[in-house]
Amino acid sequence: MRAYLRPFRRAAPADARPPTPRTVAGWILTRPDALPENDRLKLKSVLAHCPELDALTRHVRDFAQILTQLQGDRLLQWITAVRTDDLPGLHIFVNGLERDLDAVIAGLTLPWNSGIVEGHVNRIKMIKRQMYGRAGFQLLRKRVLLS
If one counts every other C-beta atom within 10 angstroms of the C-beta of residue 70, the result is 12
The one-digit pLDDT tens for each residue of the chain (147 residues) are: 455 545 555 554 555 788 999 999 999 999 999 999 999 999 999 999 999 999 999 999 999 999 999 999 999 999 999 999 999 999 999 999 999 999 999 999 999 888 899 999 999 999 999 888 887 888 888 988 988
Q: What is the DSSP letter of 78?
A: H
pTM of the model: 0.70
- 57 three-state secondary structure: helix
Positive or negative CA dihedral for 129, 135, 141, 146?
A: negative
Q: Is the torsion defined by CA of 97, 102, 104, 108 positive or negative?
A: positive
Closest CA to 27 of 13, 15, 41, 48: 41
Question: Among residues 28, 76, 31, which one has the least CA distance to residue 54?
Answer: 28
d(CA 56, CA 51): 9
Q: Cα(121)–Cα(119) distance, rounded to whole angstroms?
A: 5
| Cα atoms in the 13 Å half-sphere on the side-chain side of 101 | 10
